[in-house]
Structure 1
Amino acid sequence: MKTYTPKQIANTLDVSTTTLRRYEEQDLIPVVPRTKSNHRFYTPIHFQAFITIRALLKGYDIPIAYEVMRMSKNARFEEVLWLVNEQQYHVQVEKQRVEEILTMIQNADFTKYKNVKLKEYMSIGEAAQIAGVNTSAIRHWEHEGLVHSERNKENGYRMFSISELRKILVISSLRKIVYYIENMKSLLNELDTQNYGKIEHSFQLALKNLNNQLLHQMKGIAELIKYIHFYQEINT
């Protein structure tokens, strides 16, 4: 059986041997054998495990990629496949959401979103539920001057108008591609003046990123399937 030194695999995958050891310490790969002189050596299934980890990390968040590898190591393959399937569903939902918000921006009569009739003013909880974010995120955006609320005269609670809700929806969709507060403020100013060119470009970039994420997820799944088949072959 072919074997590999840590340096050989590290060079092939363009990572450090420290990274390989970290994956081992995180319990992401099968047990690593040792030589008589106590040096690590890897077999083809370890090589495929490392390839799979690197592929998954391009399309999935680190906790998900790590959980997939840990479950695979314990032969929980059905759970693994359902988990990656769920993550693809999340990408699809986010894509639909971005497309809906882009359409909403272009719609001058913004009185309804996802078949929910909007009130003139909404509480922070209602705004968060509609936008699919935490109330803490809205408070942070308000602190940064991205959105503004008014206070309910009776109880002092924050109230957000429809126009501010629209900003919240835009921020929630573009926060992964618009990294600087001033850039986001500029886009929101464009929204106020109904100059949608830059905003539409940003949304198209968001959609492109989601498409790329889906592609990387599919590539990760392809390597995962190879790993699962490899694992099953040597354990039957």
Structure 2
Amino acid sequence: MERYTPKQIANSLNVSTTTLRRYEEQNLIPDVLRTKNNHRFYTSIHFQAFTTIRTLLKGYEIPIVYEVMRMTKNKSFEQALWLVNEQQFHIQLEKQRVEEVLTMIQNANFTKYKNRKLREYMSIGEAAEIAGVNASAIRYWEYEGLVHSERNKENGYRMFTITELRKILVISSLRKTVYYIENMKKLLNELNTPNYNKIECSFQLALENLNDQLLLQFKGIAELMKYINFYQQMNT
């Protein structure tokens, strides 16, 4: 049985030993063995567990990675694989969304979105439902001056025009790739011009980022499968 010290694994994965201990405390890896002098030592399955964590974190969010690792430790292999599969479904939907919004921007006659006929004025709830975001996100974007609403004269509720809905759709699609408010404002201003070059470039960047994330997710799955195989071989 191969043995590794915490420092050996930390150096190999370019992390600190504190990080390794944190993963252990979070119950993400198999139980750690001790020497007679009560020093930690790891085996090959621990090495693979740490490698899997670090690789998964490049393509998935922390809560998902931690849940997948706990499931695997508990030998709930199918559940772990279904969970990562669900995340790939989400990224597929995100890609479709970015492509749909890009098509919408290029279409001068924007009266429908996803086969839904748009009204001249929409409530914040309707705008949020169409864009697939929380109403609180739209309120924040309005606070930052990215979108603007009008008030219903009868009840004082926010109402958004089709023009503002276009902005909401653009923000919701690019918020992961356009990080600064001022940059987003400049892109949104381009919606008022006949030339959408900068916006189209931003959407292409968003699609490239999604492609990169998909590749990283598959690399994480490859390491996860190696880790699962370790467990299965131990039980045969």
Output the TM-score relative to the length of structure 1: 0.99
Distance 1:193 1:147 in 2: 17
Distance 1:177 1:25 in 2: 33
Distance 2:191 2:35 in 1: 64
Deviations 1:161-218 (A, max 9, x none): 0000000000001111111111000000011123200000000000000000100000
Distance 2:40 2:233 in 1: 23
Deviations 1:72-95 (A, max 9, x none): 000001111111110000000000
Map of 1:9-48 to 2, 5 A cutoff? 9-48=9-48
Distance 2:194 2:141 in 1: 21
Deviations 1:142-171 (A, max 9, x none): 000000000001110000000000000000
User: Are 1:171 and 2:171 an aligned pair?
Assistant: yes
Letter in 2 for 1:27: N
SS at 1:58 equivalent: coil
Distance 1:142 1:15 in 2: 41
Deviations 1:104-153 (A, max 9, x none): 00000000000000000100000000000000000000000000000001
SS at 1:82 equivalent: helix
Distance 1:90 1:97 in 2: 10
Q: Identify the residue that residue 3 of structure 1 maps to in structure 2.
A: 3
Distance 1:24 1:167 in 2: 45
Q: Identify the residue that residue 136 of structure 2 maps to in structure 1.
A: 136
Q: Identify the residue that residue 161 of structure 2 maps to in structure 1.
A: 161
1:13, distance to aligned residue in structure 2 (A): 0.4
Output the TM-score relative to the length of structure 2: 0.99
Map of 1:1-236 to 2, 5 A cutoff? 1-236=1-236
Unaligned regions of 5+ residues in structure 2, if any? none
Distance 2:180 2:229 in 1: 44
Distance 2:7 2:61 in 1: 26
Runs of 4+ in 1 over 4 A off after TM superposition: none
1:235, distance to aligned residue in structure 2 (A): 2.5
Distance 1:133 1:39 in 2: 49
SS at 2:33 equivalent: coil
Deviations 1:38-80 (A, max 9, x none): 0000000000000000010000000000000000000001111
Distance 1:54 1:195 in 2: 42
Letter in 1 for 2:189: N
Letter in 1 for 2:61: D
Deviations 1:7-46 (A, max 9, x none): 0000000000000000000000000000000000000000
Distance 1:51 1:231 in 2: 15
Letter in 2 for 1:222: A
SS at 1:207 equivalent: helix
Q: How many residues align?
A: 236
Unaligned regions of 5+ residues in structure 1, if any? none
SS at 2:41 equivalent: coil
| Percent of aligned pairs with the same amino acid | 81
Distance 2:39 2:94 in 1: 46
Letter in 1 for 2:133: V
SS at 1:191 equivalent: helix
